[in-house]
């Protein structure tokens, strides 16, 4: 890559790294994995930077790389959950109450998203947290709009099931 291309990539990276990292976190639920996924997506973009014709579509390319990396990563055997002999320490109830409903809501949502299958989770994150249209998500994931709609419906059902009683706890009284 020549100096101008490197400069363009550096500017894009600087402008978008935080947003890409947040999206990765919403997809995987772990900041360390989110860093790895974001890095993987940016490395893939850097490799193809000279071949990118439409600089307006960079966000879609990075999101697609992010989702694919997440799905690939989840299929690796060393990423599967393992049982532990001892449970981790429980959160202090008083400290949790002091933080507020916003954090509890966000935490419940992120925990619920982790129980939704990867493809459905990606659709939910792109549709509702990134604010993309059905057509944009279909383009990003290289599938039909019908697939996006069905994955959205299934993902929302799975998220409702995963949240279960947490939804009742989060609703305002009255």
Domains of the chain and any CATH numbers = 3-77 (1.10.1740), 97-170 (1.10.10.10)
Sequence-ordered strand ranges (E) for the chain: none
Task: Give the CA distances from residue 117 to residues 71, 135, 158, in Å, rounded to whole numbers and listed in that order.
Answer: 10, 21, 8
pLDDT at position 100 is 55
Query: Residue 122 and residue 116: Cα distance in Å, rounded?
Result: 9
pTM value?
A: 0.60
pLDDT at position 118 is 87
- Residues of the chain with pLDDT below 50 are 98-99, 174
Q: The tokens of 163 are what? A: 């949240």
Residue 100: which region, alpha, beta or left (left: phi > 0; alpha: psi -120 to 50)?
left
Query: Residue 57 and residue 35: Cα distance in Å, rounded?
Result: 22
Spatial neighbors of 9 by CB under 8 A, at least 6 apart, are 1, 45, 46, 49
For residue 79, which of 44, 111, 118, 106 has the smallest C-alpha distance?
A: 118
pLDDT at position 98 is 45
pLDDT at position 28 is 87
pLDDT at position 83 is 57
SS3 164: coil
pLDDT at position 73 is 78
């Amino acid at each position: 890559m020549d100096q101008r291309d490197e400069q363009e990539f550096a500017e894009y990276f600087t402008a978008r790294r935080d947003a890409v990292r947040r999206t990765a976190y919403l997809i995987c639920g772990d900041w360390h994995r989110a860093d790895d996924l974001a890095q993987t997506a940016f490395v893939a973009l850097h490799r193809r930077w000279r071949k990118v014709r439409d600089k307006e579509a960079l966000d879609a390319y990075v999101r697609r790389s992010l989702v694919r990396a997440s799905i690939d990563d989840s299929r690796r055997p060393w990423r599967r959950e393992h049982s532990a002999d001892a449970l981790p320490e429980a959160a202090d109830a008083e400290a949790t109450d002091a933080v507020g409903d916003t954090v509890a809501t966000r935490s419940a949502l992120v925990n619920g998203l982790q129980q939704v299958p990867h493809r459905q989770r990606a659709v939910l994150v792109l549709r509702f947290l990134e604010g993309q249209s059905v057509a944009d998500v279909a383009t990003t994931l290289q599938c039909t709009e019908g697939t996006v709609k069905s994955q959205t419906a299934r993902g929302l059902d799975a998220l409702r099931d995963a949240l279960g009683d947490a939804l009742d706890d989060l609703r305002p009284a009255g």
